[in-house]
Every structure is written in structure tokens, then in C-alpha cells.
A and B are shown apart, each in its own frame.
Chain A
Amino acid sequence: MMNHEGRPTAVTPSGDAAGAAPPTFTGNRGLDIEEPLSFEQGRDGVSGVDLEDLPAVEDRLGGLARRAPIGLPGLSEPEVVRHFVRIGRRNYAIDLGPYPLGSCTMKHNPRLNEKLARLPGIADLHPLQPVSTAQGALELMAELGRWLVTLTNMSAVALSPAAGAHGELCGLMCIRAALIARGDARRRVLVPESAHGTNPATAALCGYVVDPVPADATGRIDLAALKAKLGPDVAALMLTNPNTCGLFERDIIAAAEAVHAAGAFFYCDGANFNALVGRVRPGDLGIDAMHINLHKTFSTPHGGGGPGSGPVVLSAALAPFAPVPYVVQDAAGFRLVEEAAATAGEPVGRLKAFHGQMGMFVRALAYMRSHGAEGLRQVAEDAVLAANYLLASVADVMPPAFPGPCMHEALFDDRFLKDTGVTTLDFAKAMIDEGYHPMTMYFPLVVHGALLIEPTESESKDALDRFAATLRFLAERAKAGEAERFLEAPRLTPRRRLDETRAARKPVLRYRPPERPEAAD
């Protein structure tokens, strides 16, 4: 296809633009520039930071002064800036295009939130300065807590957990503390087979035996199987809702009642709360504890793997066991309770140094304030609408794993790739050549060759249409016997498929300078 100026509007679908170019002298390919490690650059005595001269006083290092060089390279500021800009260009990003990683919630990260987290009075606030000089910070934490408690209809919130898995730990520890307080040590935690890996890992970290609960034919927890497993030895059920198949747990209220009748607690993994915010309050479902990933539902940036933030909302029964610190307000203003008062048994204690991920609290509150309560409801609705629209747009070529409307993410199995010679992984790698980040693959484990797609509320209808058309195109190519396109993918990336076996067999986890040949002098 040509536009009116005679230029092609798209590369030929089967074309390999890069393959046509001869190898370059530099190894660079236009804007894709090779960049060595910082350790392979630099010169002695060069630095990108200028500092004042040292005061003329005697060191007082107790004879422990460092004598050996560290081994850091010396680069100037322009070299360092260029280094990181060059390598950064080798990352896909939400700001570049759709990032449909199911369960990860890659939505737009507003830049206002970045600006506010950097305000003087926030970024330069020390955690141990007198609280009389940090009243605005405590007010902000209290306000965030109020939003979270109101949106979930729960009794209390523990803000300090540093990420989702840390929040799971916090919630499960509160449950453990509550059970110990009533002299009722229990050993098992029930975890559905579809759960995130962090759920069983957290339960094991808390000293519990993990007992899997199977899914039923609709992709939801098997209520009869759950009831059969409940007993005086069960401490808690850990259930994700909507679950990792992208489905609302229809029987959740009955499950909560059964759990409570057995004397156990109900932990909800809130990783997918973005599908429900403003429309469903977990407190109305009988949940005792739930973590909220601020970096998912409330859009704090993922940053290439954190930092996150995982506040935990708690029921009235668990609130007394919350970890320190927490904010309270009285006539004199806001206070920070940093030492646990032993009231009802032994509370959880402390989960991390200082007070929590303040920088993330600011960003999340800015996101909430921008949307307001109605806007957050719209976020959930648009996210669910987008996932269902995508599902409807491809269902004839990629049948969904389970029938019925999905919530914020659409789950497919690999039936559509049967006998094509193309695996889920190959399919995902071909999406990379099309300019998309792949969906989540091979998770949840309850579906064969799973492909889990979460478009989020951030995509326009046009963007969803293009994405669906790409999925359809690839599914049709696979069925048409073009396995080669997939097995060789990705072709157009700075690096092609990497040898992960080699990386694990003989791990090279750091740079080491090349062995010097025997000195000739």
C-alpha cells in the first residue's frame, strides 16, 4: 500500500526489513546503538561529579581506612548520560505501546505523580525528623489510608509493606498473630492452584503447610473441594479475586462464610483490585485481609521491577495485630505509633525500616485524587470493557480458556496453536516483532500454554483494534503453516532469543576485568 506521496504506509507483512541490510562495521543498526558495559569504558581519575577539596584534618577511621582500590570505572557526565540513554533505548515501555501483561497491570503512569513525589517537603523529608515537622506527611499517609479503607470497606490499613508479596506476608502474619492470641495454632493454608507464586511462597515463609485447592470447570475455586478441605487445622484461605484466570469468584461470599465457620481467616490477594475498584468493596465479600498493589491499581510506575508498595487492609478482627508504624490523629495533630502496644496478644511487629514507601503513597494519592471515586469506578469499568472487547474481537480465532465475560484480563489456552508447530512462547516472541510487549505466558498454571492478556483502561479503541488485528493475523499465520515466522522470532530486536540455559549453567553475574597477559616488563 502506498500513500499519496508514493511512500509505503507499512512494511510488507512477511518482509524482514533488517535482514535486507548488510552487516554494519560498528554492529550498530541505525538508531539501535551497541553500548559496552560502563566497566569496559572510562579512564583513571575521570569523574562525572565535582566535589570541594577535603578539609585538612586527620582521619578517624580507627585503622580501617580502605587501602585497596574498588575497581569502579571513571566516566565524565556526557559519557554516563549517553551510556544510560543508549541502553535504555533497548527497553520496551508503556510509554512506547501496549504492555498487555496479564496480572501485572501495566497502565499509564501520569507524570504529575512523578512531579509531586519530588516536591520539597516530601522528597527531602527525613523519616526520623520530629513528627511535629512532618505533619503534612502524616496527613498524606492518613488520607491515603482513608481512601483505601473507604474503597474496600475494611476497618484498618497497614501502609508499611513494600510490595505485594510483602503485603501478603503482612496479612498472613496478622492472621497468624490473631490465631496465636486465641491459642489456636493451625498449620495449613489453602491456596488455589491458579494462585500467584507469591501466595504459596508467603504461606511457607509464615511456617504454614500449603494445601492446594483445585479449580472447577469454569476456572473458579471448587467450592465443594474447598469445604472438604476446611477443618480445625486450616488457618486461612488465600484467594485472588478476580482470580488469575481473569474471572470473578462467583462463590466468594459462600467461600468466606465456610472459611469463617471453620474458624479460619480469609486472605484475598488484591493484585487484581483494579477490576473492582469503585464497584465492589472487598469488605462486603467477607474478606479479612487484602493487600493492594499501589503499582498496579493506583498506577505507581513499575520502574523495571519496583519499587512497589503493598498496603494491607484489615478487618476489625485483625486490625489489633497490624504492624508498626501507623498514623493516628488526636487533638494535637497526627502522631506516628512506632512501638507496638501489647494488647490482644503479640502484634506483628515491624516489617521494614521506617514508615513505608512514602514516594509511592504520594503518587497513588495523586492518582486517586485525579480520578475521584467516580473516576476510579470508570477505571474498573473501562479495564473490564477493554478486556471483554479484545476477547470478543479474537474469540473466533483464539477461543478463550473459559466461557462467559471476563473481568480485567482475558485468558486463552494454546488450543488454537495445536498442530501448528508454534508454542505459546513462539507466538509471544512474534508479537515482539510486531511492536508489542507479549502477554503473560504459561500463567496461570491451570490452563495449558496460557496466554493472559490485560489491556488496562489506558488503551484507546483504535489501539485495541490494532492489537486485536495483530493477534488475529498471527493466529491465522500460525494456522496457515508459517511456523518459521514464529520459531525465528524475534528478528527485529537489539538481541534475538537469549540462551537462558547457558546463563544458568555457568552463571556470570558480574563483570570481571579480562585476565592480563603476563607482563612483558
Chain B
Amino acid sequence: MRYLPLNDADRAAMLAKIGAAGVDDLFCDVPEAARLDTRLDLPPPAGEIAVEREIAAMAAKNLGTGRAPSFLGAGAYRHHIPAAVDHLIQRSEFLTSYTPYQPEISQGTLQALFEFQTQVALLTGMEVANASLYDGATAAAEAVLMAMRLTRRRRTVLSGALHPHYRDVVRTMAALADAALVSGGARPAGDEDLAPLIDGDTAAVVVQTPDLFGHLHDLRALAAACHENGALLIAVVTEVVSLGAVMSPGAMGADIVVAEGQSLGVPLSFGGPYVGLMATREKFLRQMPGRLCGETIDKDGRRGFVLTLSAREQHIRREKATSNICTNSGLCALAFCIHLTLLGEAGFTKLARLNHRKAVRAADELAALPGVRLLNRSFFNEFTLELPVPAAPVVERLAGEGILAGVPVSRLEPKAPELASLLLVAVTELTTDEEVAALAAGLRRACSEKV
């Protein structure tokens, strides 16, 4: 077996040194009844050639977004990843190291995390950010728990235009903490007003911008309404590239910002692994979950970095920790950091504007189709089309023609028939004019034949 260095002579010599007659002696504590001696119904070992062939065969059954016009978004976006990003994250020193608990020999990971935290704080317009969480949805749930700890209140208001997966993860986690969740219904028109739902018992309001349907929201009035009632505003961003073109949630008064960072440096990979971002105000730091990297000096007075404030964390505080999180999303955070460093201020803001302008052009072209209506007055790189027919069958049919037409809202809200005709369409820097034209032609065919 190519991954195992020991040969039988080694094994025999090692057993002799131990004083064991055989390897079974080392498993003597296993109760007899639990010693497995039957062959399992699993395949035999395989060399690289066979393994590659098998898994490549499974991959070949999928229609990847790389070989089809794709307008899929709804929380996961196909962006170009510069070649240098994937090369750098595969360097052994990043790929095959552990959490940087030994700072003297982990300054590479630590410095990258310090830069990552700085980038996330700058993008979100907040004072501090952590070193990542699993994904945007779990970050949103952690933010709700954090707000409950900070306010010592249980009631949380969820926007009806929050990504349904985020809403469901918040629900799952909040149920454990005995939270009281209040949610408006789905508001595809982008005219939701959450302020009347806030009262003196409210811990937090969770609102997404751009929201599920693509609408951008000015959070300033909502932030003021929260703060008048002693509640916290949690802003959710599922498309982090938007922050290059749109005013940051921090600048609009958010208290905690959580985001999905996949759009920078992380491939779609059928939904994971991704990287959750969380940023907040300095005064809330000690209730923030997750790892934090901080600056300090070494014994010789030179600048260096360490994981810090671990008194919040499970390995120190055990049942009193702010969260149970241990492993986070380190390598995805590194990919994010490298991609954003490559882009820089000029590249990132241009990337964001390019996404937006291409989306504007595509939206107008698609909205001109007979029977198709654009629901958005404002959006970033994703918008909602109302079709004259249910969207899911249209998407299924176009997939058969090799076009990934977008996400039907019914995929995320199967119990809301009133949303069945809505289609979420995302456009990025990778989308070409020809692909938009192909989608337009496909939608024209699919919609007209059904009407």
C-alpha cells in the first residue's frame, strides 16, 4: 500500500521490541464480541489509476458549471479563481499544517489569518473579525446566539427575504437556546419593513443584503430602530463580492456582520467546504465565537502573531465556551485572503462593478422577453424574474439542453406555491454575452410553449 511505510520485517521487529506476539495483542482490550473477523462488503485496495478512473467517472456524470452557461447563485457563486490562489493553498506548509497552536512554527498561517481578519473587517465596515466559521449559514446562527448572550433577550426577528437555508440553520440552533423567532413571510418585492416587529424584548434583527431575491437594502433606518430598542442588527451577506460596490453593512449601522466568503477563492464544490465570515464591534469581542489571531512580540522583541482570547473557546472553557466550534475553515480563509490580496483595492472594486454592470445588462435583456417580469429595482449581481409559468420545470428543461438557467425559488421554498414562478438569476464576471443570449432564447422557448 503506497501510503504505508512499514514492511513485514519492520512490523515484526517492532512487535519484538514491544514484547508482543502479534498485533492482536495490542488490541487485547477490545471485548471479544466486538473483534471483527469477517470480511466487510467493501472493495479491495486500488492504485492511483483505478481510483482516478472511478471518481472521474462519477464526476463525468455531472454537468459542471464549467461546461454549461450557468446562472446559478442563491448563496453560492461561480467566480474566476486566479491560478495563483490554488497553487499557493496547495503548498505543503499551508495544506498540511494543523491549527497554529505552536506559534513559533506557525507564523505563516497566523500572519495570513491576521491579514484575513483585517480584510474581513475592512470589507464589512466593522472593527474586528474572527478567523472564520464553517459557512455563512452557521455564522448567522452563531450571530443570533451571540446577540442573545449580549442582550440577555430571547426574541429574534428574521427577515422573510433571508436565504431559506440560513433561516433553517438559525431555527435549528435557536431552538436549542430556547429562542423566540419571529419571521415575516417571503417578500419577493423587496418592500419588507421589519421595524414594526422590533420591541423592547428583541435581541436581534437578522436581515440579508442583497437579499434572497437580489434586492439591496439601506439598513440605516432599521439599525436606528434596533438601537432605540436595545436590539442588535445582524446583517447577512451571501455574495461577498457585493461589498466592493455597495456600502458596507458596518457603515449602515450593523452590529454583527456575517457573510459567506465562498465567492473569493473557493470553488463551488457542490456546496462545501465554504468559509463563514463574522465581524463585529470591538466591545462585543468577548462574546464572539471562533478563533482570533492577535499581534504580539516574541522573546527577542520582534513582531509575531498568536491565537488569542482563547478563554472564550471550548478547549479552555469547556461547557462555558461561547461556542463548541473547534476546526473552522482555515484553508478556505487562506484562499479568500490570497484572492483578495491579488485583487487589491482596484481589482476588487472593479470586479464588483463588472459583476453588477453585466447583471444589469442581462436583467434588461431577459426582462424584455414576453411574459417575463423583473422584480428588482435595485440589485447587485443577482435578480428575480417572474416567469409566466412555474420556474422549476423550465429550469429542468433547459438543463436538458445544457443551460443551467438559475435557481427556481421553489427549490428553496417548496411549501410556498405563490413563489413557484420566480427564478433567481445570477451573473458574474464569467458570464458572456453569448451565454445570456442562450438563456434568453431558452427562456423564450420554454415560456412560450407552456403559455
Contacts and interface: CB of A to CB of B under 8 A. Distances in A.
Contacts of B4: 375, 378-379, 382, 457-458
B176 A207 contact: yes
Interface string A365-381: 11011111111001101
Interface in B376-418: 376-380, 395-396, 399-400, 404, 407, 411-412, 414-415
A499 interface: yes
Interface string B210-233: 000001111000000000000000
A63 B219 CA distance: 12
Given A123-B269, A508-B294, A60 B379 contact: yes
B369 interface: no
A266 to B, nearest CB: 14
Contacts of A227: none
A28 interface: no
Most chain-A Cβ atoms within 10 A of its Cβ — which of B5, B114, B243, B399? B5
Interface string A311-324: 00000000000010
* A interface SS class: loop
A331 interface: no
A101 to B, nearest CB: 6
A72 B122 contact: yes
Contacts of B201: none
A443 B84 CA distance: 38
B1 A378 contact: yes
Contacts of A480: none
B197 interface: no
B191 interface: no
A121 B61 contact: yes
Contact of B59 (A35, A47, A55, A121): A121
A47 B351 CA distance: 11
A461 B129 contact: no
Interface string B24-45: 0111111101111001111111
Contacts of B176: 173, 176, 205-207
B98 interface: yes
A63 B165 CA distance: 29
A48 B246 contact: no
Contacts of B28: 405
B306 A353 contact: no
Contacts of A121: 58-64
A35 B114 CA distance: 13
A130 B344 contact: no
B88 A302 contact: no
A408 to B, nearest CB: 10
Nearest to B167: A350
A23 B338 CA distance: 32
Interface string A344-379: 000011111111111110100110111111110011
Contact of B296 (A135, A381, A499): A499
B1 A304 contact: no
B435 interface: no
A63 to B, nearest CB: 7
B169 interface: yes
A70 B351 CA distance: 14
Contacts of A68: 251
A306 interface: yes
Interface residues of A, number: 201
B41 A120 contact: no
Contacts of B308: 500, 503-504, 507, 509
A393 B17 contact: yes
Contact of A129 (B311, B358, B399): B399
A151 B57 CA distance: 24
Interface stretch (B47-55, B150-158, B181-189, B442-450): B47-55
Interface in A139-180: 139-140, 143, 147, 150-151, 162-166, 168-169, 173, 176
Contacts of A301: 95-96, 331
Q: Point out which of B40, B41, B121, B377 has the most chain A C-beta atoms below 10 A from its C-beta.
A: B40
A362 B42 CA distance: 17
Interface in B71-94: 72, 74-76, 78, 82, 84, 86-94
A43 to B, nearest CB: 9
Nearest to A141: B270
A253 B33 CA distance: 9
Interface in B325-375: 325-332, 334, 338, 340-351, 353-354, 356-358, 360-361, 363-364
A115 B129 CA distance: 32
Q: Which 4 A-B pairs have the closest CB atoms?
A: A354-B271, A62-B378, A303-B331, A136-B61
28 contacts: A49-B347, A52-B429, A61-B246, A81-B87, A83-B341, A85-B88, A93-B93, A101-B98, A121-B58, A122-B269, A130-B404, A168-B324, A196-B326, A197-B321, A200-B314, A302-B330, A353-B166, A366-B55, A370-B48, A371-B3, A372-B45, A379-B4, A404-B29, A490-B104, A494-B107, A498-B305, A509-B117, A509-B285
Given A352-B169, A353-B274, A366-B55, 8 more contacts: A37-B118, A39-B115, A114-B90, A128-B76, A197-B317, A204-B321, A457-B6, A498-B296
